[in-house]
Amino acid sequence: MAQLAGSHCVLCQGRIGSELDGRFCEGCGNPVHLTCEAKPDSLAGGVCADCGTNLAEAGLLWTRETGERRPVPRGTGPYPISSVCPRCTNTTYRVVKAQSFIAFRWDRVCKACHTRYTLPTPLWAGVLFLVVGFSLAGLGVFSLAVVAVDGGCPVCEGFFGFLGVLFGVLSIVHGIRSLMSPGRA
């Protein structure tokens, strides 16, 4: 039997810390937090009658050998990007830790249908990437100019100048992408 502690809840994707925090659902076999389970009066079609897991989103397959459903391993995302629940447009949610590398706000899980979604990149974050990018690129170009004119240490100043320009350009590109389409960057 699989271990519950350390597994991830199928509803919120959060880590289950101990046996007291969650359980394996008797209906679908997935690990769930006790606090994430849907109440019987709030269940809709296409969900597990025991815990409320959306069976299509959980990626459950029917195994013919045993006659049971088994979970299909899922990646860490991507999740839909929206300010409200993309499935039911409900505005009530609980927050869960974001799994992306760059995240300015935690992800949300709808309290009505348990859909996990990510918030769009805020405007201030795109502007911050642009400011940092132009600063790094400017310092990198200045450092490269010092090497070319003054003949400083090409290994030290040239290398750090190149890195400044590289990371500056990458930051500028990311800032522009996040401003043009906040949900894509």
Query: Quick check: is 141 in a domain?
Result: yes
pTM: 0.51
7-24: average pLDDT: 82
Mean confidence (pLDDT) of the chain: 76
Q: Is 84 found in the same domain as 70?
A: no
Q: Is 150 found in the same domain as 86?
A: no
Lowest mean pLDDT among 57-61, 119-123, 175-179: 57-61
pLDDT number for residue 58: 57
Total number of domains in the chain: 3
Q: Is 128 found in the same domain as 115?
A: no
Nearest to 116 by CA among 175, 174, 75, 71: 75
Query: What pairing do the DSSP bridges indicate for beta strands 68-71 and 93-96?
Result: unpaired
pLDDT above 70: percentage of residues in the chain? 74
pLDDT for 51 beyond 60: yes
Query: What is the b/e burial string over 42-54, where b = at least 16 CB atoms within 10 angstroms of the residue's CB?
Result: eeeeebbebbbbb
Q: Is 30 found in the same domain as 87?
A: no
Q: Is 85 found in the same domain as 22?
A: no
Helix ranges (H only) for 48-122 are 55-58
Query: Quick check: is 185 in a domain?
Result: no
Q: Is 174 found in the same domain as 161?
A: yes
pLDDT for 166 beyond 70: yes
pLDDT above 90: percentage of residues in the chain? 15
Select from 119, 149, 172 the last residue of a domain. Answer: 119
Q: Is 1 found in the same domain as 70?
A: yes
pLDDT number for residue 104: 83
Nearest to 89 by CA among 106, 107, 111, 105: 111
Work out the angle between the directed axes of helices 156-180 and 123-150 (0-180°, nearest 10).
160
How far apart CA 182 and CA 83 sit, in angstroms, is 11
Band (pLDDT 50/70/90 cuts) for residue 64 is very low
* Paired strand residues for 109: 94, 116
pLDDT number for residue 169: 94
155-182: average pLDDT: 87
Query: Quick check: is 16 in a domain?
Result: yes
Query: Quick check: is 148 in a domain?
Result: yes
Coil, helix or strand for 10? Answer: coil
Q: Is 70 found in the same domain as 3?
A: yes
What is the extent of the structural domain holding 89? 78-119
